[in-house]
Chains A and B, each alone.
Chain A
């Protein structure tokens, strides 16, 4: 017991003295060198957080935009092998009466053909200017409240309740925005806001004027043509009011799984497919999410190793250049433990201020900056995802790595023969 107490007292003295030495060594070291080491640590920390954050953020923003613009929190859709959701009015009633629902938007969809510049066509041996698309009938106000579609109009205007002769067209149906032409997929050339297009749905043909062009970076939206639901019902022969999709936006903080279960329990699942937004994601997105998370972790692990090596080199060089003084300290009776602790404190100092500086750059500049100026990717507006929990974990990992990387070189140098160190041989 007495021996243990003495050991503990010795350890306390070592910690105090280690701090004493580290503090003075840092305080009187070259300020530019210290600043450089802290800067390197900050960059290393950012490398650890930002690379992963951008990779995961890219996919997360894809998921976010998919949820915001297409599925909502809950997505009720047509079961496979059915043309529409049977008994839709009853389902809409159930949704409307749920206390967790903020808003919803029933959509009628049907495959159709769009023709452009047909009035200017002279040579009928040439292929007509046409594209296939999903024609979607919506209540413009409801849709806008649920998915904010009007905010994504990049040309022209959004639909109003009186626009029976107008449509909004997805940007990916226009060559101007999606210059891809293949045997399986075609886009409309020379068509823009104000152009007349001819829609063929269910054998019915009607001419519309393009009122606006929408671009959300979600294929399911950008390859559609939107018109009023009342017009769509007539064209598609949906006098029964049966719809194909109902994206539901829930009140903030509501658990989508709970609402989905409630919908299924109330019988909605018998005639429709009910999915949370996560379940509704295309498989490639979930696959990409997993792949990018893995990539992020690999890059993060490499970053951590690089950080450890960086601090190892810094402390090792520091310890090697101080080898003589380490020898002197040992010579006058200072224990190896004190010297090792002094170097651990030094590395923790670099870690603390490096990480602190990195955090300031991250949350003070990078996250808000990329939020305001997203990285432009074809399928989303890339954000920098830096959740506090993930960042805290990386702070912890980097601190631990720094601790080890500070201790090991100090130990290597401290272990060298005292007299050899003093005499520099």
Chain B
């Protein structure tokens, strides 16, 4: 498999008062296409920070990120927004659905932004909801859905435009174990279809289900490899 992500010497630090906190320190890694990749580590270790850099939601201080052959570090703000729209999908810890939009409308937004005709966009959105077993809750508003259902809608939004990579930031953190299992099962099904997924999790049992895991701490990759070897 070829690499879909190549990270070289990635550094990200934050100013905290007079001092500077280095969260990612000269980090390099590659992720293959079709991988189900988990990022683990203690709280505050920089898991989410790494995910945000890879997902172009944040800008590193230095280093280079190449996604599917495109040096995304060199893109301007507009270019990064367009890249996110077309090539990447996101699943957030708190679902991040727009409260005024129904399930299907939440999914249709990025599709319309891509210039799809209304009918086609709605069809794709409905297909995505069908794929994750939510086709009967199309017109429900987020507040009419359970946490698990909202997260599945969020997944449907992430996959509807067939992105190259899905980034999931602790997608099971707010869910009960049964619902969390369903979400992970959905990810596994998507991955079995060839979808690249990069997931941050602090739950070892879910990290173990992925194909590859890294554990980060002190701004560096402490362990990298098969999840059963990385997670203790």
Contacts and interface: CB of A to CB of B under 8 A. Distances in A.
Instruction: Answer whether A and B are interacting partners.
Output: yes
Contact of A24 (B88, B105, B112): B105
B109 interface: yes
Contact of A28 (B84, B88, B100): B100
A390 to B, nearest CB: 38
A190 interface: no
Contact of B98 (A325, A335, A418): A325
B99 interface: yes
B96 interface: yes
Contacts of A330: 81
Contacts of B99: 28, 325
Interface in A4-27: 9, 13, 16-17, 20-21, 24-25, 27
A92 interface: no
16 contacts: A13-B115, A20-B109, A21-B101, A24-B105, A29-B100, A325-B98, A328-B92, A328-B98, A329-B109, A331-B57, A331-B90, A332-B85, A332-B109, A333-B85, A334-B110, A334-B113
Interface of A, helix, strand, loop or mixed by DSSP: helix
Nearest to B85: A333
A330 B85 CA distance: 9
Nearest to B96: A328
B141 A333 contact: no
Interface in B55-90: 57-58, 78, 81-86, 88, 90
A419 interface: yes
A419 B100 contact: no
A120 B157 CA distance: 101
B207 to A, nearest CB: 22
A62 to B, nearest CB: 53
A295 interface: no
A333 B115 contact: no
Interface residues of A, number: 26
Interface residues on B, range: 20 to 34
Contacts of A332: 84-85, 90, 109-110, 157
B52 interface: yes
A208 B101 CA distance: 85
A20 B157 contact: no
B110 A333 contact: yes
Given A24-B100, A328-B92, A333-B113, A419 B57 contact: yes
Interface string B153-179: 000010000000000000000000000
Contacts of A259: none
Most chain A CB within 10 A, of B88, B105, B113, is at: B113
B93 to A, nearest CB: 10
B157 to A, nearest CB: 7
B181 to A, nearest CB: 25
A350 to B, nearest CB: 16
Given A331-B96, A333-B82, A422-B92, 7 more contacts: A329-B98, A331-B57, A331-B90, A332-B110, A334-B85, A335-B81, A422-B96
